């Protein structure tokens, strides 16, 4: 109902303006509620026209105009305004006389309305808005009367929903954990207020950086109607992370020292698939894992990323590489290589772990690929003096040879120092291994750099370098000896 203004008391007012909920997560929506009151007058001494119509409410937010739908209206009863007035009348016999009379002035009507507009958290280009506060203005009017208008302001706060990859107790998964295919992936999202009367669901995306970069969809369910916590889980399947021999040539590396040689290995292995690098204690911010037992057993990882809106969380999952390069320290006595925390990774910990896809392992570390100590570098009988093998002792190379890879490259005593010689060796090996063979090129390149203790294990057996003096050139060189078959170890 609208009318010509009579006594200046017509009005349209926004009595209430609110967003429900006032705080949302990115990707969520909020309903903007507007309550209107109107007072209209018409007729009487000033005339006026009584026309019936519904007000219009427009919400402006992030430069978007949202049309509000009228969800409720109440048209009050029509009332009449009268008042006592002193009225003068002329009587031909008595002249001017006056009296108090009840005089009609105008009709009036009071109405109320409820309007709702849905904001989907997007801007004029249909992009999700960022984190922050977003003011909005409600403009109410009754057309075509410009005086029937009112406006009011409010705001909606947009926060980042938090998606978390959890352990089975729904605590945040330790960032350096390495999951495996067949294990359960637990996901939790905390987000803005939803409908308190419904146990709602949301859909998140889980993808891997190599096997399935498109990802899968997973539905999470609110734990209770008012918790704003959503949970769900799924098995990590080979469709998400490849497992075992997958027909893809891949590499990975781990380094606890200056990583020049590991970086060179990674660069030279391209365009093979990069299955990750580990660096000493790791870097959580960059999601570079530490050289720990989980990464060493995996010998290659993919990154699993769970996404909801503009928020995400990432975890590591085992996808074993074909080529694995380790650079650090090895200890013949303990048959192990050093990890980032100072602990040792031994053949026992690699057993039943390095048999998925691993084809070649390179140890840029001392004394790991030693079989029988043929040159007598170590005190094998523990009698206080070094002796030439073979002896009854089971040597580190023998144990590493039983872990699964076809090729093991390394050293039977001291390894070349870094960061220059070891980097030069790996760079030259990368140029020749596809031509001269994995093991033979390793021995030749190390001999060229006078790395006397280079050794290798392949399907034929054990290979190592021996010093040879060239009387004509008057210099010491190194030649490969082998293969010594496993039956003779």
- Where exactly are the structural domains of the chain? 2-159, 162-247+286-318, 366-488
- Each residue of 256-285: pLDDT tens digit? 999 999 999 999 998 899 999 999 999 999
pLDDT band of residue 52 (cuts 50, 70, 90) is low
3-state secondary structure of 400: helix
pLDDT of res. 383: 67
Token pair in block for residue 45: 């001494």
CATH number of 162-247+286-318: 2.60.40
**Confidence check: pLDDT of 6 > 60:** no
- Each residue of 313-331: pLDDT tens digit? 999 999 999 999 999 999 9
pLDDT of res. 477: 93
Please say whether the beta carbons of 168 and 183 come within 8 A: no
pLDDT of res. 103: 77
pTM over 0.85: no
Please say whether the beta carbons of 142 and 78 come within 8 A: no
pLDDT band of residue 44 (cuts 50, 70, 90) is low
**Confidence check: pLDDT of 33 > 90:** yes
Tokens 């899968």, residue? 216
pLDDT of res. 235: 97
Among 29-38, 47-56, 339-348, 421-430, name the one with the lowest average pLDDT: 47-56
Averaged pLDDT for residues 121-149: 91
Do the domains at 2-159 and 162-247+286-318 have one common CATH topology?
yes
Please say whether the beta carbons of 403 and 354 come within 8 A: yes
Rounded-to-integer distance, Cα 401 and Cα 247, Å:
23
Q: What percent of the chain has pLDDT over 70?
A: 94
3-state secondary structure of 345: strand
Q: What percent of the chain has pLDDT over 90?
A: 71
pLDDT of res. 138: 98
The rounded Cα 379 to chain-centroid distance in angstroms is: 51
pLDDT band of residue 26 (cuts 50, 70, 90) is confident
Among 168-182, 343-357, 374-388, 441-455, name the one with the lowest average pLDDT: 374-388
3-state secondary structure of 479: strand
pLDDT of res. 107: 84
pLDDT band of residue 85 (cuts 50, 70, 90) is confident
CATH number of 2-159: 2.60.40
pLDDT of res. 4: 43
pLDDT band of residue 440 (cuts 50, 70, 90) is very high
**Confidence check: pLDDT of 2 > 60:** no
- Each residue of 199-258: pLDDT tens digit? 889 999 999 999 999 999 999 999 998 888 999 999 999 999 998 777 889 999 999 999
pLDDT of res. 93: 84
Give the DSSP letter string of 143-163.
TTEEEEEEEEEEEEEEE--EE
Among 108-122, 142-156, 280-294, name the one with the lowest average pLDDT: 142-156
């Amino acid at each position: 109902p609208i009318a010509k203004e009579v006594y200046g008391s017509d009005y349209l007012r926004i009595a209430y303006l609110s967003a429900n909920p006032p705080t949302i997560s990115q990707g969520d929506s909020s309903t903007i509620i507007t309550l209107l009151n109107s007072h209209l007058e018409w007729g009487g001494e000033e005339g006026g026209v009584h026309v019936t119509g519904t007000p219009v409410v427009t919400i402006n937010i992030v430069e978007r105009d949202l049309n509000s739908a009228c969800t409720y209206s109440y048209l009050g009863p029509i009332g009449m305004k009268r008042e006592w007035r002193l009225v003068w009348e002329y009587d031909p016999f008595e002249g001017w006389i006056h009296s108090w009379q009840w005089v009609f002035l105008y009709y009036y009507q009071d109405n109320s309305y409820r309007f709702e507009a849905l904001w989907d958290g997007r801007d004029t280009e249909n992009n999700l808005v960022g984190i922050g506060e977003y003011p909005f203005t409600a403009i109410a009017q009754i057309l075509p009367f410009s005086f029937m208008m009112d406006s009011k302001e409010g705001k909606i706060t947009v926060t980042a929903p938090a998606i978390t990859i959890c352990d089975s107790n729904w605590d945040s998964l330790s960032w350096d954990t390495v999951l495996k295919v067949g294990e359960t992936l637990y996901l939790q999202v905390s987000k803005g207020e939803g409908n308190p009367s419904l146990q709602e669901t949301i859909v998140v995306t889980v993808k891997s950086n190599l096997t399935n970069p498109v990802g899968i969809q997973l539905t999470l369910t609110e734990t209770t109607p008012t918790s704003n916590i959503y949970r769900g889980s799924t098995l990590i399947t080979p469709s998400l992370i490849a497992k075992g021999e997958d027909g893809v040539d891949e590499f990975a590396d781990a380094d606890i020292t200056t990583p020049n040689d590991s970086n060179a290995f990674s660069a030279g292995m391209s365009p093979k698939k990069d299955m990750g690098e580990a660096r000493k204690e790791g870097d959580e911010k960059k999601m570079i894992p530490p050289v720990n037992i989980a990464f060493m057993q995996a010998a290659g990882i993919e990154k699993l990323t769970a996404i909801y809106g503009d928020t995400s969380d990432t975890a590591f999952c085992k996808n074993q590489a074909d080529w694995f390069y380790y650079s650090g320290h090895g200890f013949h006595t303990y048959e192990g290589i050093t990890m980032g925390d100072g602990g040792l990774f031994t053949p026992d910990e690699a057993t039943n772990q390095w048999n998925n896809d691993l084809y070649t392992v390179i140890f840029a570390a001392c004394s790991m690929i030693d079989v029988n100590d043929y040159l007598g570098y170590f005190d094998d009988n523990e009698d206080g003096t070094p002796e030439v093998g073979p002896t009854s002792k089971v040597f580190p190379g023998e144990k590493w040879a039983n872990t699964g890879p076809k090729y093991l490259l390394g050293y039977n005593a001291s390894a070349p120092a870094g960061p220059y010689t070891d980097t030069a060796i790996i760079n030259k090996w990368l140029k020749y291994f596809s031509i001269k063979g994995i093991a033979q090129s390793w021995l030749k390149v190390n001999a060229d750099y006078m790395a006397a203790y280079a050794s290798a294990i392949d399907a034929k057996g054990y290979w190592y370098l021996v010093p040879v003096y060239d009387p004509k050139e008057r210099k010491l060189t190194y030649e490969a000896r082998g293969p010594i078959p496993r039956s003779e170890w």
